[in-house]
Amino acid sequence: MMFYVRRQLLTAGCVMLLLSASGCATSDLFSAFDLFSSKSVEAPAGSDQELMSRAEEAFALKKYDEGRKQLQRLINQFPESELIPAARLNIGRTYFDEKRYDEARTEYQRFIELFPQHEQLDEAQYYTGLSYFRQMEKVDRDQTMTNKAVKEFRSLISEFRNSQFVPDAQAKLAECLRQLVQRELYIGKFYFNREAYGAAIPRFELMLKEYAGSEYDDQALYYLGESLWELEQKAPAKAAFQRLIAEFPDSDMASLAAKRIGVAFVQGPRRRKPSAGFLSAVTTSMSEAMSELKDAIWDSSIWQPATP
């Protein structure tokens, strides 16, 4: 019994001695354990950062479905992560790159709803408009997508004036508006050619009101005037023709309008590009002149050796 007690006391004393003699080492050991533990918490397997990295690697290999699965896991498992906005933008962009414009637009619109103050809101707005733009139909088809693209591009231009996407949005907007005015002209002429003048007139009036300043104003005025003339509305028809002559004297339509209302009109000569033959003659003449000038310079006395 006494042997057992002595052994216990000896063991306890050794433990206390070791603890007192190596207190710093013990502290360092525990610190090391804490360091390894903290590292494992910072980057655990399946963290939001790791899921983002996996998605980016998949996208680089054009494995879009796999990449989107990783981002969706990130969104579901880490709803408070600061990577959520980037994840949603990336999902939308990959759909756009695959030309899956409806799905891309859904993601971008969701981004706009969830993050209305985000610094990349202009990007979501731009690609929303661009997704509509890429789905525009031809002039003789429905223009719903064109009108929606116009709305999105205008919102971007007015709300994000300093955005890097504004210049391209302005160019795309101009293209959309050109197509819309072409659509109205197409329909107006369709009715006009079938002598449905009452249906044609609103189309030409709309062109002049909604798309004023377009390159088709002269045609709109001419066909409007002709339609009104055919319906015996001579006064408004004459006003349309007179405006055409005054504002577009170089248009082919101006002489037709003048003839219709009996106005003497002499169309001025148009500015035309010089013909190829004319340019060739000028080039040859200049070449010959330069050659003669060179010979004259070399023959000049200033190039002759001085006489002793």
Residue 24: the pLDDT is 42
Using 70 as the pLDDT threshold, list the residues of the chain that sit under it.
1-46, 264-308
Mutual orientation of helices 2-21 and 23-42 as an angle, nearest 10°? 70
The per-residue pLDDT for 263 is 83
pLDDT at 271: 46
- CATH 3.40.50.620 describes domain 47-118: no
Q: Which helix (H) or strand (E) holds 108?
A: helix 101-114
Within 8 A by CB and 6+ apart from 279, the residues are none
Domain spans in the chain, listed from the N-terminal domain onward? 47-118, 120-182, 195-265
Q: Answer yes or no: same fold for 47-118 and 195-265.
A: yes
One of 2.30.130.10, 3.30.2350.10, 1.10.238.10, 1.25.40.10 is the CATH number of 195-265, namely: 1.25.40.10
0.85 surpassed by pTM: no
Burial letters 108-144, b for 16+ CB under 10 A, else e: bbebeeebeebeebbbbbbbbbbbbbebbeebeeebe
